[in-house]
Structure 1
Amino acid sequence: MVSGLNYSTNAKKRWLRLEINTDDLLQVWSFNWGIMDVLIGGKSSIDLQELKVRSWQDATEFLRYYGYDPDVPADAQKIHMVICEAWNFIEQYLMPFEWSRGKQPPSQLLYTHDARDIILAASDLRPEVATTQAWACAVLRVMHTIAHIDGVTKYADIEAARTQVMNRFLKFVFRDQDGKLRFGDRQTSVVLDRIEWKLRKSRESIILKLLHKKANVAETIYDLLGIRIITKKLADVMVVVKFLRDFHIVTFPNCNPSRARNSLIDVESFKHNVDMLREMLEDGRIKPQEFTNILQGLTKPLAAVNSAANPHTAKGYRAVQLTCRQLIRYPNPALRWQEKLRSYLGEKDISEQVHQICTEILQLAATEPQDEQLEGFFPFELQVMDEASAAQNAMGEASHDRYKQSQVKAARRRVLNRVLSLAESAS
């Protein structure tokens, strides 16, 4: 048996020597290191500076495996719509001034309806077409972002999700007999200044946010629904967070710990003060009203704020932030046509032939039953802050306008860096 194994191994070595030549070895050990960085190095695909698609057929296969067949009319139309939206986004949000002054992409890219033209241009590394290649890479980055958004949002009933999440909160928001807005239940509650709902995130805002995020995938958009609870007193912020758990408004296993942020309250100091005052209250050294007054006076905001988690958040922004998710159930939209067809069958003026055809269609649909309800986890972002911090956040460096400007600058650099640098060197 040993000699047989040796013979087999030797025969295999001879076969390898005969079949694999220099060209084959070069092909096997040729790597696209940019793609390797995306696959295993943590690099985002939109940060690639080039593609290596060499033919029309290769570009077709690239798109097919991406998810769209450019030779299918419906897919071709979708691709064209994405191209148009991507160019419009670049013009309106990333370089409105330069675009209006004539700094625009080459016409063969701007007016093409076929993504293969853009893919091949992004793969052309000849020096004489460097500007065209840079523009092609730029628009592909935005196109990829738009495609991800469409691929995620179409499978969720976002309005149903927002309604179900909001209802959990609204059960514990009420006015007392003095007209004060409160959060909690009738036995234990805190006074709020207000509660704000961010019910819609514009498509442009989602694209902009994804373009400056490292991962650049639509699943990383957590604030399709945003809730901001603003208390009158700073210490009450901690009570609101406690109530979220006590009243099962959020479930802690469904909170994302990597996205929990506290830039508002020194928790260790707060814990010390609460424990001290609880002991004094139990011993009868202070009265309940004194407990509240003393705690409010001792609770101070953090002296320094670390905003490294989000480079676009101003250093002065103060809040307790949670990213949560809630299981949402909603009617299966695929079944709505069946309901409409059954309703149609109930009408009196239908011919017998039409009635028979409709009945057969429903019978065929019944052979592949679908769930009446769909379900999935819907993410939302929650911020809690006091009235004074909310006023500070709305001013100066912490304002939303500055935050948005920072996002635009980051997205502009990421998408158009080579386009702009080539233009500067040419001028």
Structure 2
Amino acid sequence: MSDVAEQSGSFARRPRLRTMSLAELERVRLILRGGSVVDWYRLLFDSIDQARAFMRLQGGDPDDPADQARLHALREVATRYLQDEHAYRVPAELHSCDPLELFLYASEKRGRRRDRFFACLLLKTMHIVHHIEARELRFRAPLSQSRLADLLADKVDTFARQLRAEGFALVRYSGGEKSLSSLVTKLLVKKEHHAATIHDRVRFRFVVDHPFDIVELLVRMTERLFPYNYVAPGQTVNGLVNFTAMTESHPELRAIASGLQVGLGHEEAALPSENEFSGPSYRVVSVVADVPIRVPDDVLANIERGTDLGRVVFGLAELQMVDRAADDENERGENRHDRYRARQLLKVRDRLERGMRGVREDEP
């Protein structure tokens, strides 16, 4: 099977790309196009075991009574919202079943098509409520930004070690929290000069052997590192993997592509442009994700009693992926990091020195 295409759509003969399921293809596609799971109309779960695994990926424990109660509470809030704000009448069986069964109803593995519709409504709303309350928990918890960054780095480092232990084609891996100097420069150069707008305070970089390895890396990330529903919509930069060309050039993928929720050909036109300070041929796949972090027991013990916000917070991270050849090209000429940094600093100085305009040189 041929290699994953670059943006040009060209393919080189390479070892076969692993056949993916429709669920895996849908996840990869969502990330590469910077889409939102809120726009989906169905899920692709085949069993309750898959739903339990997804709960663990979210930072929960399906066998923990407190986490089970948390799911019930989220469903209750979602049901009230849908009834009070939109006058939906949620079917009784969806309100009384094990909350994890909602994933099967949303996948049409249980119930009727109408149940799929309401299960999706509930899960979308639960997804939003959980994210809001996790942010509230983050503010209430005695958890510093540096410790959260350390917990996040530990989780991603563990994932990278697992990849290497499995023989995955990970050529290089690095990551960590940006320095204060880098953060100040980034904010001074942005129009939105507020710290809340920084998505790459903590960044991780994965260099793989070949472009098609990026696709497999995304599959593994969404199985072990972060759930696909918490990838930040509209923040993906993709200069390496042409999803449409990849799918149409692989018979196994083309055969299942008709089941995708959005037709082929939409993503390439909708992606944001590269960083304005990057070199003209700089190429990378960059994804911003909220990585679930289970709050440590010592932190949880110091949160005000009666705070029913679960025990999961999110660590925002930028995950960069690039193949070996593109990474080498990214370090040449105008693509080099020192040139990138120089262009950034020039823009910062221009903004900082605007107040000097009109000041005479002989003034003290």
TM-score normalised over the length of structure 2: 0.49
Higher relative contact order (Cα pairs below 8 Å, separated by 6+ residues)? 2
Structure with higher helix content: 1
Higher radius of gyration, 1 or 2 = 1
